[in-house]
């Protein structure tokens, strides 16, 4: 009996403590004029529920509080916007006090000079330096030949094998980007670089708690190792610059200040920009490629139409001929498949902004320093924008107005629209070209897919590959 009484008192005490902690966090962030919502636990907020439940958490909060509500996510008080019109307004109004608001873990691991962290004139300068590396002329003359050579080689030995397409597309996205950045030297550093990079990626979406064996700690340590590798590479380039003609890869151009020498960056800025290029392209390219293979397997009519486009291109060429920029621009159905894959799989759930002053948005007062999570995921499934939204229908994108409509936020929006969009499309298109014209495949085992917080197959996505 005594034990039972003790147990009851312990439960009662825990209930009181829980209520007090939840109430304390609500009081701490209480402001007049805030949107409705809840703030969760001290420090953690509602991050655990958000990461575990994902879209279900968002839908539940929207059903309780509407499409504009407050929460506490990834260590910050946050306003969540799930309204299409408001999302567009927030994304195109950086000049009015809405700047990038990425989590502290991402800023620490990607670096203070990464293009997603800076704003104003610094962002304009860094974006100019980046666009000088990946504009259409550079894609045509410099990058596409490298991509073509890499993709042809990467898929060349898959015949009659069971492969994990998730693992292969991750390797593909990382190694292809590293080849564009570091040229011939990419081969000598890739073995040390790749495992550190994968740890860095995991660390960017975590609570910034610097304790042993946390993703944040591993990611931050991985950044330090990557910085060391890149700094040594830059020094080696400087020592060799007077002795031999160097290949005009991205690193060469960054050290030179761009094609015209107008963007002079420090070594720290160069390193952070390289990490940003690798990071921003890696997840979208690898995951979109994996999910395209998955959707094509599940939709034979789409696969037939796509294969027809690529066989037609290959029929005009000798077997050894590379893809040209004109070939890439002619891949209209391929582009449609890529966009539809990105929409339906929702590779990017949303973007973060931060207020630089108290602001009135949607009739509410948002305090200075609060984050605004522009949650674009649900827009991808809005039947008013995309009829029959859960169907995999690339044909919807052949109408160019779909790509140009105001709510097309797959690649961000406003001045922050992904500058590497066309480069990413070129990489995925080239991969699909060599994969589809070389092989057929079937899934092995029905592997599980997760859609949040990242799109991934926890146990891999295995396929059996055979040549035509």
* Residue 77 in domain: no
> Are 450 and 164 in contact, with CB atoms under 8 Å apart?
no
> Is 113 marked as binding a ligand?
no
**Greatest CA separation found in the chain?**
87
- The 8-class DSSP code of residue 453 comes to S
Q: What is the pLDDT of residue 14?
A: 45
Helix (H, G, I), strand (E, B) or coil at 341: helix
* Residue 361 in domain: no
- The 8-class DSSP code of residue 352 comes to E
Provide the residue-wise pLDDT of the chain in tens; the chain has 468 residues: 555 554 444 444 444 544 444 454 455 566 678 999 988 877 678 888 888 888 889 999 999 999 999 998 877 899 999 988 888 888 877 667 788 777 778 888 988 888 777 777 877 888 888 888 888 999 999 999 999 999 999 999 999 999 999 999 999 999 999 999 998 888 889 999 999 999 999 888 777 778 888 999 999 999 999 999 999 999 988 887 655 556 688 999 899 887 777 888 899 999 999 998 899 888 899 999 999 999 999 999 999 999 999 999 999 999 899 999 999 999 999 999 999 999 999 888 888 888 888 989 999 999 998 999 988 888 888 898 899 999 999 999 998 777 666 667 666 665 566 778 899 999 999 999 999 999 999 999 777 888 887 888 999 999 999 997
325 CB burial (10 A radius; 0-12, 13-18, 19+): middle
Q: What is the pLDDT of residue 335?
A: 96
Q: Tell me: cis bond preceding 255? Omega within 30 of 0 counts.
A: no
* Residue 377 in domain: no
Which of 71, 72, 68 lies closest to 82, judged by CA? 68
> Are 162 and 464 in contact, with CB atoms under 8 Å apart?
yes
* Residue 233 in domain: yes
- Distance, in Å, from the CA atom of 282 to the CA atom of 280, rounded to the nearest integer, reads 6
* Residue 461 in domain: yes
E strands, 38-184, are: 68-73, 76-81, 98-100, 161-164
- Distance, in Å, from the CA atom of 103 to the CA atom of 101, rounded to the nearest integer, reads 7
- Distance, in Å, from the CA atom of 321 to the CA atom of 314, rounded to the nearest integer, reads 9
Q: What is the pLDDT of residue 94?
A: 66
Domain that holds residue 256: 101-333+409-467
Q: List, as one string, the DSSP characters of 120-134.
A: THHHHHHHHHHHHHH
* Residue 116 in domain: yes
CATH code assigned at 214: 1.10.630.10
Q: What is the pLDDT of residue 71?
A: 92
Which of 347, 379, 380 lies closest to 456, judged by CA? 347
Residues 6+ apart with CB under 8 A from 110: 116, 117, 204, 223, 272, 275, 276, 279
Domain tally for the chain?
A: 1
* Residue 151 in domain: yes
The residues facing 163 across adjacent strands are 463
Q: pTM for this structure?
A: 0.88
> Could you give the angle at the alpha carbon of 91 between the alpha carbons of 85 and 95, nearest 5°?
125
Which of 350, 426, 451 lies closest to 148, judged by CA? 426
> Are 71 and 387 in contact, with CB atoms under 8 Å apart?
no
Residue 167 CA to its chain's centroid (Å): 17
Residues 6+ apart with CB under 8 A from 74: 45, 47, 103, 104, 105, 205, 207
* Residue 178 in domain: yes
Residue 122 CA to its chain's centroid (Å): 22
- Cβ neighbours, 10 Å, residue 343: 23
- Distance, in Å, from the CA atom of 238 to the CA atom of 94, rounded to the nearest integer, reads 38
Q: What is the pLDDT of residue 274?
A: 93
**How long is the chain?**
468
């Amino acid at each position: 009996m005594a034990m039972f009484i003790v147990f009851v008192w312990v439960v009662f005490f825990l209930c009181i403590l829980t209520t007090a902690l939840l109430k304390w966090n609500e009081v701490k962030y209480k402001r007049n004029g805030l949107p409705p919502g809840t703030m969760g636990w001290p420090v953690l907020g509602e991050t655990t529920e958000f990461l575990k439940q994902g879209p279900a958490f968002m839908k539940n909060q929207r059903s309780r509080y509407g499409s504009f509500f407050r929460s506490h996510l990834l260590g910050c008080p946050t306003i969540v916007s799930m309204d299409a019109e408001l999302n567009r307004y927030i994304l195109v109004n950086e000049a009015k006090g809405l700047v990038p608001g990425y989590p502290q873990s991402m800023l620490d691991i990607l670096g203070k000079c990464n293009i997603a962290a800076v704003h104003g004139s610094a962002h304009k300068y860094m974006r100019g330096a980046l666009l000088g590396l990946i504009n259409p002329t550079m894609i045509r003359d410099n990058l596409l030949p490298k991509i073509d050579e890499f993709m042809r080689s990467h898929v060349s030995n898959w015949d009659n094998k069971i492969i994990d397409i998730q693992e292969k597309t991750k390797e593909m996205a990382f190694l292809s980007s590293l080849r564009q950045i570091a040229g011939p030297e990419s081969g000598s550093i890739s073995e040390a670089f790749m495992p550190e990079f994968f740890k860095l990626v995991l660390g960017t979406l975590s609570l910034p708690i610097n304790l042993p064996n946390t993703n944040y700690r591993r990611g931050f340590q991985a950044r330090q190792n990557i910085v060391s590798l890149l700094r040594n590479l830059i020094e080696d380039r400087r020592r060799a610059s007077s002795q031999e003609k160097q290949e005009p890869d991205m690193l060469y151009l960054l050290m030179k200040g761009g094609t015209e020498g107008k963007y002079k960056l420090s070594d720290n800025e160069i390193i952070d920009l390289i990490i940003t290029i690798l990071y921003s392209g890696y997840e979208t390219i690898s995951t979109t490629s994996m999910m395209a293979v998955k959707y094509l397997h599940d939709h034979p009519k789409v696969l037939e139409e796509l294969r027809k486009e690529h066989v037609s291109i290959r029929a005009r060429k000798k077997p050894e001929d590379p893809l040209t920029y004109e070939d890439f621009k002619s891949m209209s159905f391929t582009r449609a498949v890529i966009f539809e894959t990105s929409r339906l799989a929702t590779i990017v759930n949303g973007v973060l902004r931060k207020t630089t002053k108290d602001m009135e948005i949607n009739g509410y007062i948002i305090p200075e320093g609060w984050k605004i999570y522009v949650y674009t995921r649900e827009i991808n499934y809005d039947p008013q924008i995309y009829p029959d939204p859960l169907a995999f229908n690339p044909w919807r994108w052949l109408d160019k107005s779909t790509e140009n409509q105001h709510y097309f936020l797959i690649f961000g929006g406003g001045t922050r629209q992904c500058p590497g969009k066309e480069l990413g499309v070129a990489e995925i298109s080239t991969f699909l070209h060599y994969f589809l014209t070389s092989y057929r495949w079937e899934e092995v085992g029905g592997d599980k897919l997760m859609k949040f917080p990242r799109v991934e197959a926890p146990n891999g996505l295995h396929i059996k590959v055979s040549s035509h």
